[in-house]
Each structure stands twice: as structure tokens, then as C-alpha cells.
């Protein structure tokens, strides 16, 4: 599910939530999202298309993509660059 600037705060404000920021055209981002949602089907995992949601990407200081933010009750508690996938997976398993 894609998040917009309007839905971002509501969806990341409750419990543990994972958000992948990337272009919808990014093969790496698409594969990353598929792997996350397949591996963790019970975890709320969302995506932000940085090409369509430029204001949201700017508000969250996205400089590279894909990048994953982990939120807990609305607060960003961790972030993982595209090349830190194994660290992200280990963290989500714990």
C-alpha cells in the first residue's frame, strides 16, 4: 500500500510500522518491497513513491533511495539504506 502526505502520519502513528521510500519505477525498490511484505506478512509495511510524493520525501529528508524507515507509535526509530537489507531483516525478526 502506498502512503501519501495525507495518510502518512495516521498509518505510521500506531505500533511498529515499516515504510519504504523509493520510486515506483525502481526495480530494486520493487524487489525490496516484495521481499519485505512476503517475509513479514503480519507487519504493516507501506511504500512512498518519492516521484509522486515529493513534499513527503523532502519533509523526511530522503536523499537516496530505496531507504527504509521503521516507526514506533509515530516516531522514527531506525532507518536502513538499500544496502543494509540483512540488518533490517534481522532487526524486524527480533
Residue 32: the pLDDT is: 92
8 contacts: CB under 8 Å, gap ≥ 6: 19, 48, 56
In 3-state terms, what secondary structure has residue 71?
strand
Answer yes or no: is 81 within a domain: yes
Number of domains in the chain: 1
Say which CATH number the domain at 67 has: 3.40.30.10
- In this structure, the chain runs to a length of 94
Answer yes or no: is 94 within a domain: no
Grid coordinates in use for 32? 525490496
Answer yes or no: is 26 within a domain: yes
Answer yes or no: is 55 within a domain: yes
Q: Above 90 in pLDDT, residue 94?
A: no
32-62: pLDDT as tens digits: 999 999 999 999 999 999 999 999 999 999 9
Structural domain of 55: 5-89
Which residue has 510524493 as its cell numbers? 53
60-84: pLDDT as tens digits: 999 889 999 999 999 999 999 989 9
Which strands, in side-by-side order, build the sheet including 16-22? Answer: 45-49, 16-22, 67-72, 75-81
Amino acid at each position: 500500500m502506498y502512503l501519501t502526505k495525507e495518510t502518512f502520519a495516521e498509518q505510521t502513528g500506531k505500533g511498529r510500522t515499516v515504510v519504504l521510500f523509493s520510486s515506483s519505477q525502481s526495480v530494486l525498490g520493487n524487489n525490496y518491497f516484495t521481499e519485505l511484505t512476503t517475509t513479514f506478512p503480519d507487519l504493516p509495511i507501506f511504500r512512498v513513491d518519492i516521484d509522486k510524493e515529493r513534499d513527503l520525501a523532502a519533509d523526511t529528508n530522503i536523499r537516496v533511495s530505496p531507504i527504509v524507515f521503521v516507526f514506533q507509535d509515530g516516531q522514527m526509530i531506525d532507518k536502513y539504506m538499500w544496502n543494509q537489507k540483512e540488518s533490517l531483516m534481522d532487526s524486524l525478526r527480533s
